[in-house]
Structure 1
Amino acid sequence: MNRNVLGQSAAEVLHEVFGGTDGPVLAATPTGSLVRPLAQVADDLDDPPPVELFTTEQSAKDLRGQAPVATKVAELLASDDDPVRLLPPGLRATAVVTPDDVVAIARTADQAAGLPAASSLASSLRTQYREAFADARSALFRVPPRSTVLNTVATELGDEVAADVDAFLTVMESLDAVSLSEASTAFVLGGARHECELYRIRNTVEDAGFASQATVTRRKQLLERAGFVTTRKRAADIGRPRQVLVVPDDAPADDPERIVESVDEMEA
C-alpha cells in the first residue's frame, strides 16, 4: 500500500488494508480502539486474513468484558496458542502490520485514515513489531469464536435455537460491558423460546467453551425471578423428569432488543 486510505470509520480503513493482503496481520491497539472495527471486519469479509492482537492489559480486560464483541474478534484470530499479547511500553501507536506494510490508524469524530509508513521505514517497523510480539506475554484471551459457539448450539439444540442465541448476542454487542457470564443470558433466553431442557442448555454452553454449567444455572435463576423464563417438568424415558425452560405468557418483553434492554436495566 503506497497511499493513504480515507474512510468514515476505522472499519472501512481496515477493510481496505485487510483486502490487500493474505495475512497474517498484526493489529496493535493500545487503547482498544480497533476492537469494534475488527468485529465489523469479521462480520463483513468472507475470507479475512488471520489476525494477531497486540494490546495493553487494560484493553485486553475490557475486551473480555465485551463478550459478544469479543466472540466476533475471536473469529479473526490466528490459530496459535497466544494470538493476543501485551504491548510493551515502547509501542503505543494504533497500527496494522501486514507482510508488506505498516499502516497507522488515525480517527476523528467522523472520519478515519490509514497512513502507511514510508517504504524506507516499513521494513524496520515490521521487524520491530514482530520481534516485540514474539517476546510479549500472553493476554490470556479465552473467548470462543461466535461461529464455534453457534455451530455447537445448532448441533446440540437445533438451528432455530442457534439463530435466536445469535440474535440476542448481536443485540448485546451494542452494550458497553457484557461479561461471558452475563452473555450466557442469550442461551437461556434462546433455549426457553424453543422449550429446551435446562441440562442440555447447560451442557451445550460448557461444550462451546463459553461458560460453566453453574454460570448458566445462575443466569436462569436471575431471569426466572425477573419473569423472562420459567420451567416445567417433562417426563424422561429413564430417571427423573427433566426441567424444561419456557417463556411465560406474561413475560415482560418479547423481542430480543427489548429483552436485552430490560435485563441490562435490571442489572444496572
Structure 2
Amino acid sequence: MSAETNALDEEFGDTINSLFEDADSVLFVNPAPDVFRTVMTSAAAFDNELPTLRVLATPDVLKSSVDDFILASRISDLVDRGRLELRTTTDIARSSLLISDDQIISVITLDDKLTGLRSTDDDLVENVRSTFDDDWESGEEFNLRTPPLTRVQETLREELGNEVEEDFMMVFESVDRIPGEDDELDEVAISLLVGANNEVLLYDISKWGEDTGVASKATFSRTKTRLEDRGLIETEKVPIDVGRPRLRLVLVPDDLEDIDSLADQVTA
C-alpha cells in the first residue's frame, strides 16, 4: 500500500488540471460555491480528454451557481457532451472533496486562496469512494435549463449571422459573470445589444432566444423596453406584406467596441 498526504502548493487550477490528466472519473462531493465555479471553469477549459465528472452538491449551491449564464452555459456544454452529471442531496456535512480512482483532494481555503490536502492511501481512497458512491446513487438528478454555449453560438451564426455571434462572444468573454434577470446586464440584454449593433429584427432575435432556451419572447420584450428607457437602443418600424410592422433594433452608441463603458451604462 502506498500513501501520501501533503498540502498542495501549486495554484489550485493547476491542481485540478493535474487531477483531470490522471483520472478516468472524478466524484466531486459537497463543493462550496467558489470551489464549484473553479472546478467547472477548469473542466470547461481543459484541452485534453476530460474524465467523467460527477457532482454531488446541495441544491442551493447548484441553483445559485447556474444563475450565472456564463458558468451555466459552460456546465451545460459538459452535460451535453456526456462528461458531467449533477445530483443533489441535503445530507452532506463534510468538506469539499474531489475523489478519483487513486486519490482524494480535500479542498480548503487558506489566506483567501483555494488549496487542498491530498491523500493517495489506497485503503482510504477505496473506503471514501465507496461511501460517496452510495450517496451518489441516492442523490436526485439536477436539471439544468440553460442551453449549452456551443448551441448558443451555432444557432446565432445559423439564424442571425456570424457578426451577431462574434459580437455576442466578444461581450461574453469580456465579463466575469452574467447574472440572472434581477441584474441589468444579463444574457438577454447582451443579446439585444449585439442584435441592435447589427440591426436585426426584434422578432428574429427574440424567437431565437425562445427557441434556444435563453429566455422567453416576453422577457426579450421587457428587456428591450428597459434598454430603450436607458437610451441604449432604439427601434425602427419595418413594414411587412401582412400584419403589423416588425421592429428593427438599432444601437444608440456607435458600436460595441467600448464594452466596459456600455456595461456601466446598462447597470447604472
Matched with 2:53 is 51
- Kindly tell me the number of residue pairs found equivalent between the two proteins: 259
Q: Report the structure number with the largest CA radius of gyration.
A: 2
Q: Which moved more, 1:159-168 or 1:232-241?
A: 232-241
Partner of residue 248 from structure 1, selected from 252, 257, 268: 252
Residue 67 of structure 2: aligned partner: 65
Cα deviations across residues 93-121 of structure 1 (Å, max 9, x unaligned)? 21122344332223322452351352111
1:215-243 C-alpha deviation (Å, 9 max, x unpaired): 11111111111011111123446544321
Is residue 202 of structure 1 aligned with residue 206 of structure 2? yes
State the percentage of identical aligned residues: 24
Q: Name 1:27's counterpart in structure 2.
A: 28
Distance 1:166 1:136, change over 3 A: same
CA distance in 2, matches of 1:196, 1:223: 15
| 1:162-211 residue CA offsets vs partner (Å, 9 max, x unmatched) | 12212223344346xx1167321111111111111111111111222221
Residues 1:216 and 2:220 are matched in the alignment: yes
* Contact 1:29–1:93, Cα closer than 8 Å, also in 2: yes
Q: Structure 2, unaligned stretches of length 5 or more?
A: none
Counterpart amino acid of 1:116? Answer: S
Contact 1:52 1:78 in 2 (8 A): no
TM-aligned CA distance change 1:15 to 1:209, over 3 Å: same
Alpha-carbon distance in 2 for matches of 1:52, 1:144: 19
1:51-85 per-position Cα deviation (integer Å, ceiling 9, x unaligned):
222211221221122222222233323767x9322
State the alpha-carbon separation in 2 of the partners of residues 6 and 73 from structure 1. 27
SS at 1:257's partner residue? helix
Give the distance between the partners of 1:111 and 1:100, measured in 2 at CA.
Answer: 22
**Pairwise CA RMSD of aligned residues?**
2.8
Using the TM superposition, give the Cα deviation of residue 138 of structure 1 relative to its aligned residue in structure 2, in angstroms. Answer: 3.0
* TM-score computed with the length of structure 2 as normaliser: 0.83
- Rate the CA distance shift 1:6–1:70 in 2: closer, same or farther, 3 A: farther
Aligned match of 1:76: 78
Please state how far the C-alpha of 1:43 moved relative to its aligned partner: 4.5
Q: Which of 155, 158, 161 is the aligned partner of 2:158?
A: 155
Could you tell me which runs of 5 or more consecutive residues in structure 1 were left unpaired when the two chains were aligned: none
Q: Is the 8 A contact 2:76 2:144 kept in 1?
A: no
Relative to 1, partners in 2 of residues 1:160 and 1:48: Cα closer, same or farther, differing over 3 Å? farther
Secondary structure, in 3 states, of the residue corresponding to 2:56? strand
Match of 1:135 among 127, 135, 138: 138
Q: Which amino acid aligns with 1:95?
A: L
Looking at structure 1, the residues matched to 194 and 40 of structure 2 have their Cα atoms a distance apart, in angstroms, of 22
2:87 equivalent to 1:85: yes
